[in-house]
Structure 1
Amino acid sequence: MSSVHGEPPERGTVTTSDDLERAVRAAAAVLARVEPGQLDDPTPCTAWPVRELINHLVGGSFFFAAAIETGTFAGDGPPPPDFASGDFVGAYADGAAKLSAALRAPDAPPQHVSVPFGEFSGTDFLGIATIDTLTHAWDLARATGQSTDLDPDLATRVLASARDLVPDAWRGDDPAPFRPEQPAPDGATAADRLAASLGRSV
């Protein structure tokens, strides 16, 4: 996964800029259907109620945009705003626009990306951003009673890339970002299978 210690391994599925933009569109559609009375409801991310999950999704769009635009993000600036207390749909649209502009730059993605949780090839970072965005869109859909059948073709691709890009070191109890893989029931959607592969109960 990291490009620091030699060449990255060959990937079975390579994430593209279009994949990340599709994940962002899926997340935007879920965000648009969140009701104000749901902000304190629990989510599959047990440490985060809906409002904190929204803050992560919206803040993540700006974080991914900055990291892809510059190749680095130190994470030592002021804390992000409480997006969930305001127009989080509009804020996500702003972050998505910045991310789209970064992805469409002539030299995007950068060869290397350095962020607080590691150093990655630009292509691997696109994959991580896509996994994070689509999985948390699933979390939010599940928490707010929406359909979790999110972009089946994309979810199938992201599931394949997640098996390459998510190391065992990222799995465990909170605050680990993912838990051990869980079984998915027969007939589960592609996005449900992705969620189960990253430790969600489906």
Structure 2
Amino acid sequence: MTDHLTHTPVDDLAAVFDVVGDLVAAVQNDQWGNATPCPEWDVRALVGHMVLGNRLFAGILRGEAAVVPGALDPRAHDVLGTDPVAAYRGAAKDLLVAFRGPGVLDRMFQVPAGLVPGIAALHLRVVEDLVHGWDLARATGQEIRIPDELVERALGFTRAKLADVPPDRSPFAPATTVPDNAAPLDRLAALLGRPSEPPR
């Protein structure tokens, strides 16, 4: 466990990757075609999208990749092969190494959301894999266990950034409603437009 005095933002991303990697590892063979809260993607496509995103960001941080149309479309790129767990964990580990590079969190990078400092790029990946982890758990009947304080940090970042995005350019569906006492991750998912009902 990381001591609170030495906690860094990269530790949040590492914690999310650990939890989501375990969710991916627990997907049953007959669940890869299950519907997810992302209507256009089944479970395999959802995991593929996360792998593509983590690989893209690692390449951007190293100056080896750029944002191009369709780069994150899992229907155009099969990156999971025969071992989705290894693909997810490998991409996650590579991105953590890239974020831990000297000065990375302070430099500016062109990512799909625009030109942002490295620390914002890191928060974007935390939110992305948190919410898609929520999607994956819903689609496969699993429970996602993430410390509430980590999710609250992601919520704070997301609320601040969404306020800067014009409604006609938002990549997210309109926010949905959850009870005031809902878990932080359910509130984050609702903020980004996730339906309250499980996918069918």
Q: TM-score, normalised by structure 2?
A: 0.80
Query: Aligned partner of 1:107: which letter?
Result: G
Q: How does 1:1-202 map to 2 (within 5 A)?
A: 16-70=9-63, 73-75=66-68, 81-167=77-163, 169=165, 177-185=171-179, 187-202=181-196
Shift of 1:41: 1.0
Deviation per CA, 1:124-166: give whole Å up to 9, x if none: 2111111111111111111110114433221111111110123
Structure 1 residue 54, shift from structure 2 partner: 0.9
Aligned counterparts of 1:134 and 1:127: Cα–Cα separation in 2:
10
* RMSD (Å) for aligned C-alpha atoms: 2.7
Give me the whole-angstrom Cα distance separating, in 2, the residues matched to 1:49 and 1:123.
30
Contact 1:184–1:196, Cα closer than 8 Å, also in 2: yes
Alpha-carbon distance between aligned partners in 2 of 1:171 and 1:31, rounded to the nearest angstrom: 32
Looking at structure 1, the residues matched to 119 and 142 of structure 2 have their Cα atoms a distance apart, in angstroms, of 31
Q: Is the 8 A contact 1:71 1:114 kept in 2?
A: no
Q: 1:183 to 1:148 in 2, by over 3 A?
A: farther
Matched residue SS, 1:109: helix
Question: Relative to structure 1, is the Cα distance of residues 71 and 85 closer, same or farther in structure 2, using a 3 angstrom cutoff?
Answer: closer
- CA distance in structure 2 between the partners assigned to 1:161 and 1:77 by the alignment: 26
Q: Between the two proteins, what is the percent identity of the paired residues?
A: 35
* Contact 1:71 1:110 (8 Å CA) reproduced: no
In structure 2, list runs of 5 or more residues that go unmatched.
1-7
Runs of 4+ in 1 over 4 A off after TM superposition: 76-81, 167-172
TM-score calculated relative to the size of structure 1: 0.80
Count of residue correspondences: 186
2:79, 2:18 → 1: CA distance?
Answer: 18
For 2:29 and 2:167, locate their aligned partners in 1 and report how far apart those are by CA, in whole Å: 32
Structure 1 stretches lacking a partner, 5+ long = 1-14
Q: Match of 2:5?
A: none
